Amino acid sequence: MKNQEPLTKVLNDPDVLRRINELTQEPGTNRNKVVKTLCQELDLRSATGDLRTTACSYALRALDQAGKIALPKPRFAVRRAASRRPSAPAPLPQGLPGFAGQVRGLRLELADTPARSEMWNELIIAEHPLKSARMGGRQLRYLIASDHGYLGAAGIGAAARHLSARDKWIGWNKELRERNVNGIAGLCRFLIRPGVRCANLASRVLGMMRRRVARDFEARYGERPWLMETFVDAAQFRGTCFKAAGWIRIGQTAGRGRYDRHNKRDKPVKDIYVFPLDPGFRRKLGTRAPEAPGPLAPEEGLDTDSWAANEFAGAPLGDARLVKRLIRMAHLKALRPAAAGPGARGSDAKQHYYFMELADDSPVALETILAPHARRTERRAAGGGDILLISDATDISYSSLRTCRGLGALGTNQTKAVGKGLRLQTQLAATASGVPLGIAWAKGWAPVIREKGEKKKDYSKIPIEQKETYVWVLALRNAARVARERSGQRIISVFDRGADAFEVLAEHQRDPAADLIVRVKYNRAVSEGGRLFDAARAFPEAGRAQIRIPRQSGRPKHNRSAPRKARAARDAQLIVRYGSVTVNPPNHLQDKYPEPVRLGVVYAVEADAPADGGPRVEWLLYTSLPLACLEDALLVLRYYCLRWRIEDWHNVLKSGCRIEDLQHESAARLWRGIAIAMVVAWRIMLLTLLGREVPGLPADVLFTEDEMFILTLLQKKTPGSLAR
pLDDT band at 652 (very low <50, low <70, confident <90, very high): very high
* Per-residue pLDDT at 319 exceeds 60: yes
Is the separation of the CB atoms in 394 and 443 below 8 Å?
A: no
Helices (H), 357-437: 366-380
pLDDT the model gives residue 412: 65
| Distance, C-alpha 56 to centroid of its chain | 32
Which residue from 80, 62, 48, 50 is spatially nearest to 7, judged by alpha carbons?
62
Q: Is 249 exposed, middle or buried (0-12, 13-18, 19+ CB in 10 A)?
A: middle
**Nearby residues of 623 by Cβ (< 8 Å), 6 or more positions away:** 515, 516, 517, 518, 599, 600, 601, 602, 636
Higher-pLDDT residue of 618 and 346 is 618
* Per-residue pLDDT at 118 exceeds 60: yes
Distances (CA, A) of 632 to 545, 577, 579, 625, 639: 12, 11, 11, 8, 11
pLDDT the model gives residue 130: 87
**Ramachandran angles phi, psi of 544, nearest 5°:** -130, 155
The C-alpha angle with vertex 260 and arms to 257 and 262, in degrees rounded to 5, equals: 150
Is the separation of the CB atoms in 257 and 161 below 8 Å?
A: no
Return d(Cα 231, Cα 239) in angstroms, integer.
9
Is the separation of the CB atoms in 681 and 429 below 8 Å?
A: no
β pairing state of 387-397 and 418-431 = antiparallel
- Average pLDDT for residues 353-379, to the nearest whole number? 92
* Helix (H), strand (E) at residue 60: helix 53-65
DSSP secondary structure letter of residue 219:
H
User: Coil, strand, or helix at residue 391?
Assistant: strand
**Nearby residues of 642 by Cβ (< 8 Å), 6 or more positions away:** 388, 390, 430, 434, 494
Helices (H), 463-595: 470-485, 502-510, 532-537
Beta bridge partners of 229: 186, 274
User: Poorest-confidence range of 15-19, 143-147, 248-252?
Assistant: 248-252
Return d(Cα 651, Cα 658) in angstroms, integer.
9
Distances (CA, A) of 451 to 300, 408, 409, 418, 455: 49, 12, 10, 10, 9
Higher-pLDDT residue of 317 and 422 is 422
User: Coil, strand, or helix at residue 35?
Assistant: helix
Q: What is the dihedral of CA 413, 415, 416, 417, to 10 degrees?
A: -80
Which residue from 80, 72, 145 is spatially nearest to 107, judged by alpha carbons?
145
pLDDT the model gives residue 620: 96
Higher-pLDDT residue of 166 and 698 is 166
Contacts of the segment 29-35: beta carbons below 8 A, 24+ positions apart:
29/72, 30/72, 30/75, 31/57, 31/60, 31/71, 31/72, 31/74, 34/60, 34/71, 34/72, 35/60
Dump pLDDT digits (tens) for 421-452: 999 999 999 999 999 999 999 999 999 865 55
Which residue from 699, 683, 553, 532 is spatially nearest to 618, judged by alpha carbons?
532
β pairing state of 597-606 and 570-583 = antiparallel
pLDDT the model gives residue 722: 43
CA 155, 160, 161, 166 dihedral sign is: negative
* Helix (H), strand (E) at residue 276: strand 271-276
* Per-residue pLDDT at 260 exceeds 60: no
pLDDT band at 175 (very low <50, low <70, confident <90, very high): confident
User: Coil, strand, or helix at residue 568?
Assistant: coil
Beta bridge partners of 154: 142, 190
Return d(Cα 24, Cα 20) in angstroms, integer.
6
Distances (CA, A) of 586 to 184, 314, 523, 596: 57, 45, 11, 10
User: Poorest-confidence range of 112-126, 386-400, 611-625?
Assistant: 611-625
Residue by residue, DSSP assigns 524-536 as: -BBTTSSBHHHHH
Percentage of residues of the chain with pLDDT beyond 90:
47
The whole-chain average pLDDT of the chain stands at: 86
Return d(Cα 45, Cα 57) in angstroms, integer.
13
User: Coil, strand, or helix at residue 622?
Assistant: strand
Kindly report the pTM of this predicted structure: 0.61
Give, rounded to a whole angstrom, the gap between the first and last alpha carbons of the chain: 58
Return d(Cα 336, Cα 348) in angstroms, integer.
14
* Per-residue pLDDT at 213 exceeds 90: yes
Residue by residue, DSSP assigns 12-33 as: TSHHHHHHHHHHHHSTT--HHH
386 C-beta neighbours (distance < 10 Å), count: 16
Return d(Cα 562, Cα 567) in angstroms, integer.
15
The C-alpha angle with vertex 435 and arms to 434 and 439, in degrees rounded to 5, equals: 105
* Helix (H), strand (E) at residue 275: strand 271-276
pLDDT the model gives residue 494: 97
Return d(Cα 95, Cα 467) in angstroms, integer.
80
pLDDT the model gives residue 189: 94
- Average pLDDT for residues 6-21, to the nearest whole number? 83
**Nearby residues of 392 by Cβ (< 8 Å), 6 or more positions away:** 425, 426, 495, 496, 498, 643, 646, 647, 650
Buried b (16+ CB within 10 A) or exposed e, 479-489: bbbbbeebeee
Dump pLDDT digits (tens) for 136-160: 788 999 999 999 999 999 999 989 8
* Helix (H), strand (E) at residue 442: strand 436-445
Which residue from 415, 416, 397, 417 is spatially nearest to 407, judged by alpha carbons?
397
pLDDT band at 548 (very low <50, low <70, confident <90, very high): confident
Amino acid in position 713 = L
pLDDT band at 293 (very low <50, low <70, confident <90, very high): low
pLDDT band at 561 (very low <50, low <70, confident <90, very high): low
pLDDT band at 394 (very low <50, low <70, confident <90, very high): very high
User: Coil, strand, or helix at residue 34?
Assistant: helix
* Per-residue pLDDT at 224 exceeds 50: yes
Q: Is 124 exposed, middle or buried (0-12, 13-18, 19+ CB in 10 A)?
A: buried
Query: 3-state SS string over 282-331?
Result: HHHHCCCCCCCCCCCCCCCCCCCCCHHHHHHCCCCCCCHHHHHHHHHHHH
* Per-residue pLDDT at 244 exceeds 60: yes
* Per-residue pLDDT at 724 exceeds 50: no
* Per-residue pLDDT at 705 exceeds 90: no
pLDDT band at 1 (very low <50, low <70, confident <90, very high): very low
Is the separation of the CB atoms in 315 and 292 below 8 Å?
A: no
Residue by residue, DSSP assigns 110-175 as: E--SHHHHHHHHHHHHHHSTT------SS-EEEEEE-TT---EEEEEEEPPS--HHHHHHHT--HH
pLDDT the model gives residue 286: 81
User: Coil, strand, or helix at residue 43?
Assistant: coil
**Nearby residues of 442 by Cβ (< 8 Å), 6 or more positions away:** 366, 367, 370, 424, 425, 426, 427, 675, 678
- Average pLDDT for residues 166-175, to the nearest whole number? 88
